[in-house]
């Protein structure tokens, strides 16, 4: 509808110019928005205010002349259902539509079904979203869970908005952390065999390390006993990383997160891409030698200082493989790359951006989503972490306790650039206080209404496709509900544009509130059969939009609760 309002405004501008009411037919950048407050119409535009300089006229006078010209501007279907326009404030033009303007929305939802709300905004642009990418040195914790929910939802929303999306997990299976993992398991294994060992503080100390060591002992005890330390550590590292990565895959699968591609960091070294990237930048004088190390000129691209890519002991840094990895991403044909990181990686953005720009790409082709921390609560009180070194609340713990749907919905309930209080007890409540229950219950309740209508012979099936008697939907709550449904696509596009999935969360909460307000005031099934059929069409449309919105967040839409 905003598109049609925009067309009406442009027609009015052209008409006003042709009649000599306005001196210019130039079109400035202007907005058509949904007003925040009731009484200000269904839509509003600021075209008069942004045209003041062009027209050399007061905004209110421009607005009046545009409104006067709109009676001749009925080139759109919307023009025939426009009840009135008014000039408000310093020059806003407010549009009030008749109920008949909104009724086709119900038909659109029923006919488009799962594609309702989808957009072609992305125009097929190839986008890669890389997220989680936790080191395979331990199980996923609650912070990884929020990052997983955000990355997965961003990918879903972009895809629904017309982008060609690939979701990827980058496996950090090379370097110091893997060697430390192998050392940690090796030392625990030695302790289990009765060898006195000093366990370094920088080694991984969780119970999962002991469990992996025990499994190795049970399966390869004698072989390992005869192995020298260097080879033993390597064996332990490979076994432990594989074991932990399998657990990560399983936990993510239970969380409803599935990747299109799992990319190995080690493959960058095996293929020689890391060394090639370094040599290419050397030739461009972007990598230079200093104090026996190799440095990348990241300061030249806006970083606070240059960064080491190869240490003076000959070992590459993580930055070196990240340079090669991001170059490889773009070589695969992606137009845009989005990385989802923890907030503690903020200082890393500039150097990766520098690496991207240095390969000839634009900075705008690289985005980073920084996900803030999660504070776990139970009935409003902080959850106490274990004092044992290496112990933490895992994603599996959260999913096992509150379920996938509640976990994902709560993780996405606030903007990722704000800290999140996650109350475990609230997430389990079967009441309107629990956001996921509040929204899912709408879907389940409407299913119950449709089943009852079928039992009473009002409808033949619970998922009919054509709206019936929609002109009877004139109650205030009905129109509010239809308007909320009509705004779904706009919220999808806003979420895709800003990369903020909590926009969809907020929309679903608002739609659920509108349904509850409607249902509390009006019966759906009643003696008046034509009105009942119209209302059944409306609630079915709401059900489909709730389902579509929840799907974008990776949350199910249950038929009963």
Please name the helix (run of DSSP H) or strand (run of DSSP E) that holds residue 110, with its range, or none: helix 103-112
Which helix (H) or strand (E) segment holds residue 548: the answer is helix 529-552
Q: What is the pLDDT of residue 72?
A: 47
Strand ranges (E), 47-111: 82-88, 92-97
pLDDT of 294 reads 98
Model confidence over 402-417: pLDDT tens digits?
Answer: 999 999 999 999 999 9
**Predicted confidence (pLDDT) per residue in 174-231, tens digit:** 888 899 999 999 999 888 888 888 888 889 988 899 999 999 989 887 678 678 999 9
Would you say 298 and 243 are in contact if contact means Cβ atoms under 8 Å apart?
A: no
Q: What is the pLDDT of residue 71?
A: 67
Give dist(CA 151, CA 147) in Å, integer. Answer: 6
HSE of 300, CA atoms in CB hemisphere, 13 A: 12
336 Cβ partners below 8 Å, 6+ apart? 125, 126, 127, 128, 365, 366, 367
Distance in angstroms (rounded) separating the CA atoms of residues 171 and 177: 12
Give the architecture (CATH level 2) of 1-97: 2-Layer Sandwich (3.30)
Q: What's the distance, CA 478 to chain centroid? A: 30
Rounded Cα gap, residues 489 and 485, in angstroms: 9
Q: Is the dihedral of CA 528, 544, 145, 154 positive or negative?
A: negative
131-265+372-428: CATH class: alpha beta
CA distance 440 to 448: 13
Cβ pair 239, 185 in contact under 8 A: yes
pLDDT 10s digit of each residue in the chain, 561 long? 888 889 889 999 999 999 999 999 999 999 999 988 888 899 999 999 999 999 999 999 999 999 999 864 444 555 567 888 999 999 999 999 988 899 999 999 999 999 999 999 999 999 999 999 999 998 999 999 999 999 999 999 999 999 999 999 999 998 888 999 999 999 998 888 888 888 888 899 888 999 999 999 898 876 786 789 999 999 999 999 999 999 999 999 999 999 999 999 999 999 999 999 999 999 999 999 999 999 999 999 999 999 999 999 999 999 999 999 999 999 999 999 999 999 999 999 999 999 999 999 999 999 999 999 999 999 999 987 554 455 678 999 999 999 999 999 999 999 999 999 999 999 999 999 999 999 999 999 999 999 999 999 999 988 777 788 999 999 999 999 999 999 999 999 999 999 999 999 999 999 999 999 999 999 999 999 999 999 999 999 999 999 999 999 999 999 999
CA-wise closest residue to 176 among 330, 385, 318:
318
**Global confidence as pTM:** 0.92
Contact 80, 36 (CB under 8 A): no
The segment(s) of the chain belonging to CATH 3.40.50.620 are 131-265+372-428
Let me know the angle formed at the C-alpha of 301 by 298 and 302, rounded to the nearest 5 degrees: 95
Domain with CATH 3.30.1360.70 in the chain: 1-97
pLDDT at residue number 533? 95
Greatest Cα pair distance, the chain, in angstroms, is 98
Q: What are the CA-CA distances from residue 149 to residues 152, 205, 342, 421 (Å)?
A: 5, 27, 13, 15
Q: Which CATH architecture has domain 103-121+432-553?
A: Orthogonal Bundle (1.10)
């Amino acid at each position: 509808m905003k598109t049609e309002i925009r067309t009406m405004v442009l027609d009015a501008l052209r008409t006003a110019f042709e009649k000599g009411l306005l001196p210019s037919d130039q079109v400035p950048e202007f907005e058509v928005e949904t007003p925040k407050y009731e009484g200000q119409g269904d839509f509003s535009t600021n075209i008069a205010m942004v045209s003041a300089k062009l027209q050399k006229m007061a905004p209110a006078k421009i607005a009046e002349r545009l409104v006067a010209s709109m009676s001749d501007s009925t080139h759109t279907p919307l023009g025939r259902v426009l009840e009135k326009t008014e000039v408000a404030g310093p020059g806003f033009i407010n549009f009030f539509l008749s109920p008949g303007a909104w009724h086709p929305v119900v038909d659109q939802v029923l006919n488009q079904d799962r594609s309702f709300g989808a957009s072609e905004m992305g125009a097929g642009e190839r986008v890669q979203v890389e997220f989680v990418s936790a080191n395979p040195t331990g199980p996923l914790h609650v912070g990884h869970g929020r990052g997983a929910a955000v990355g997965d939802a961003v990918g879903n929303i972009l895809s629904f908005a017309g982008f060609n999306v690939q979701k990827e997990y980058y496996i950090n299976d090379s370097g110091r952390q893997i060697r430390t993992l192998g050392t940690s398991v090796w030392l625990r294994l030695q302790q289990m065999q009765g060898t006195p060992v000093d366990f370094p503080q920088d080694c991984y100390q969780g119970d999962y390390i002991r469990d992996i060591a025990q499994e190795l002992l049970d399966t390869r005890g004698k072989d390992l006993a005869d192995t020298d330390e260097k080879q033993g550590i390597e064996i332990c590292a490979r076994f432990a990383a594989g074991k932990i990565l399998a657990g990560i895959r399983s936990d993510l699968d239970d969380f409803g997160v599935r990747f299109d591609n799992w990319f190995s960091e080690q493959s960058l070294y095996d293929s020689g891409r890391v060394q090639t990237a370094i040599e290419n930048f050397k030739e461009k004088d972007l990598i230079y030698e200093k104090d026996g190390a190799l440095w990348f000129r990241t300061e030249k691209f806006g970083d606070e200082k240059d960064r080491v890519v190869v240490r003076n002991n000959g070992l590459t840094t993580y930055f070196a493989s990240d340079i090669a990895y991001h170059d490889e991403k773009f070589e695969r044909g992606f137009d845009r790359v989005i990385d989802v990181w923890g907030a503690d990686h903020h200082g890393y953005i500039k150097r990766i951006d520098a690496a991207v720009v240095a390969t000839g790409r634009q900075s705008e082709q690289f985005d980073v989503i920084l996900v803030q921390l999660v504070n776990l609560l139970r009935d409003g009180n902080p959850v106490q972490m274990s004092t044992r070194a290496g112990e933490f609340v895992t994603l599996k713990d959260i999913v096992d306790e509150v379920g996938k749907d509640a976990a994902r919905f709560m993780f996405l309930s606030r903007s990722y650039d704000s800290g999140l209080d996650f109350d475990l007890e609230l997430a389990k409540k079967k009441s309107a206080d629990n956001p996921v229950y509040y929204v899912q219950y709408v879907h389940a309740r409407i299913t119950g209404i449709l089943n009852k209508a079928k039992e009473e012979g009002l409808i033949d099936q619970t998922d009919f496709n054509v709206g019936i008697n929609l002109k009877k939907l004139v109650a205030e709550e009905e129109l509010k509900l239809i308007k909320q449904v009509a705004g779904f696509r706009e919220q999808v596009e806003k979420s895709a544009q800003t990369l903020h999935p909590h926009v969809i969360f907020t929309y679903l909460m608002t739609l659920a509130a509108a349904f509850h307000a409607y249902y509390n005031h009006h019966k759906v099934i009643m003696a008046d059969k034509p009105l009942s059929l119209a209302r059944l069409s409306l609630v079915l449309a709401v059900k489909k939009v709730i389902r579509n919105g929840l799907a974008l967040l990776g949350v199910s839409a249950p038929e009963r609760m």
